[in-house]
Amino acid sequence: MPTNIQPGDPTTVGARNFRALWAGAAVTNLADGVVKLALPLVAVSMTDSPALVAGVTLANTLPWLLFSLPAGVLADRVDRRHLIMTMAAVRALALAVLMGGVLADVLPLAGLYAGALLLGTAEVFADTTRMSVVSMVVPRNRMESTFAKLTATETAANEFIGPPLGGLLAAAGLAVALGAGAVGYAGALLALAIMTGHYRSGRHRSTASTPRLRAEIREGVQYVWRERALRTLLLVAGAASGCWAAWTAVIVVYAVAPGPLDLSRSEYGLLIGALGVGGVVGASVAPALIRRLGRQVVLVTSMVCFAVLLAAPAVSSSARLIAVATVLGGAGSGAWNVTYSSLRALVVPEEMMGRYSGVSRLTSWGSMPMGALVAGLTAELIGVRAVFWGGAGVSVLVLAATLRTVTSPEFRRLEARATAFDEPEPAHPHRS
């Protein structure tokens, strides 16, 4: 692979760049955790309609359905670090505008939706691109441990620290929480500025001879379609993500007073933070579990934990029971992300990584706006608990599909390709 020549030990340069990328991801996800708790609370302060509250989650996740594929193509065309930095700046500015609207008490619900949509769009481009950068600074034989670090850090920041912090900040004032998110994205921008080198795909050039956008998207889709096991896992993840978004869209109505759980804003932040507790644990132990039990067992167990998360509020209004289930659901999510992400990084060619990530995000996250939409309408017409019953039913089908996939010959062949990368190799920033 072409490399950007750097003075000094290239291994040291790669380690420094990864630490900067890691720090940027941590601060970004901390801001995400604060903001994604604050936005529904802003909506709840404007309306008591479950459908309209769920509309915030719909607006925030809709960009995954609209822009995942173009984001993957762009990640293979431009300097990936610069793209992530630009998106951090966009998010900081968007939150500054929302904060001003809340402070002046002039922010309409439509304006909140617009802000959530812009924040979600920037997240699509940043997150799709970040996964492509990891393989450019980390040796392939260290992918599992690297993704364990990243996933644990992102989960801790996004779901463990961010939501409780967001709850405390929201208790002080919704504008305070939004402003803190803006500061967080600005901090991520500074962390990424420390990285050195160029991060354009080594084999993909943005020149006049580059295939059209549609052709490049088609290449990415065709690659995923040929990889049958990866394709099925993506579809499974998509169904699970839709249920996750449904849970996220209405849990605030179910949990915060006068909902059945009768929680305060800060207590609601602690409940959502339970996802992070489980996520950190699941991500941290995933590499050891993969070595001892294999990817198949880890993926299936992760889906079992996810089913428990969805079923708990359907059968109980006990805050303690739901908190335990939330921890288990977070653990399953963390373990799944490490297992799948490391497998993908090992078998997908680097020059295809951006487009593959785009297809992956479209499939696994593009279902979230649909889940939020269905959840809002179901909660409005039938009741909030019906959303959880529906998600629990879908999770059983998802679990069955996962079990069938990981026991297939295609998955065993994929595993054989992944385990072939057992020799250390230096990691360098790529040169454009």
User: Which pLDDT score, from 0 to 100, does residue 57 have?
Assistant: 83
Q: Cα Rg for the chain, rounded, in angstroms?
A: 21
User: Which pLDDT score, from 0 to 100, does residue 48 have?
Assistant: 84
d(CA 291, CA 409) in angstroms, rounded, equals: 20
d(CA 188, CA 191) in angstroms, rounded, equals: 5
Q: Which residue has the tokens 């179901």?
A: 378
Q: Are 123 and 91 in contact (CB under 8 A)?
A: yes
Q: Give 429's DSSP letter.
A: P
d(CA 322, CA 271) in angstroms, rounded, equals: 8
**Per-residue pLDDT tens for 45-84?**
898 888 888 889 889 988 988 888 888 888 888 888 999 9
Measured CA distances, 166 to 32, 151, 265 (Å): 10, 20, 9
Tokens of 339: 């297992």
Tokens of 102: 């809340």
Q: Are 254 and 247 in contact (CB under 8 A)?
A: no
**Per-residue pLDDT tens for 223-237?**
778 878 888 888 888
Three-class secondary structure of residue 263 per DSSP: strand
Mean pLDDT, rounded, for 169-182 = 92
pLDDT of 339 higher than 70: yes
**Per-residue pLDDT tens for 363-372?**
777 787 888 8
How many beta carbons lie within 10 A of that of residue 424, not counting itself? Answer: 11
Identity of residue 71: A
Cα three-residue angle 7-13-18, rounded to 5 degrees: 160
Q: Are 377 and 278 in contact (CB under 8 A)?
A: no
DSSP assignment of 98-159 equals HHHHHHTT---HHHHHHHHHHHHHHHHHHHHHHHHHHHHHS-GGGHHHHHHHHHHHHHIIII
pLDDT band of 429, cuts 50, 70, 90: very low
Residue with more model confidence, 296 or 162: 296
pLDDT of 328 higher than 90: yes
pLDDT of 86 higher than 90: yes
**Per-residue pLDDT tens for 6-57?**
333 445 666 788 888 889 999 999 999 899 889 988 998 898 888 888 889 8
Q: Are 223 and 355 in contact (CB under 8 A)?
A: yes
**Per-residue pLDDT tens for 117-166?**
999 999 999 988 887 787 788 776 677 777 778 877 887 787 778 878 88
d(CA 198, CA 429) in angstroms, rounded, equals: 6
d(CA 63, CA 100) in angstroms, rounded, equals: 24
d(CA 284, CA 20) in angstroms, rounded, equals: 20
d(CA 234, CA 405) in angstroms, rounded, equals: 11
Measured CA distances, 116 to 120, 122, 239, 428 (Å): 6, 10, 23, 36
pLDDT above 90 as % of the chain: 32
Judge residue 7's burial from the number of C-beta atoms within 10 Å of its C-beta, 0-12 exposed, 13-18 middle, 19 or more buried. exposed
User: Which pLDDT score, from 0 to 100, does residue 421 have?
Assistant: 56
First to last CA, the chain: 11
263 has which bridge partners?
Answer: 256
pLDDT of 430 higher than 80: no
Q: Are 251 and 313 in contact (CB under 8 A)?
A: yes
Q: Which residue has the tokens 């072939």?
A: 420
| Mean of the per-residue pLDDT values of the chain | 83
Outline where DSSP puts E strands in 2-98: none
d(CA 237, CA 234) in angstroms, rounded, equals: 5
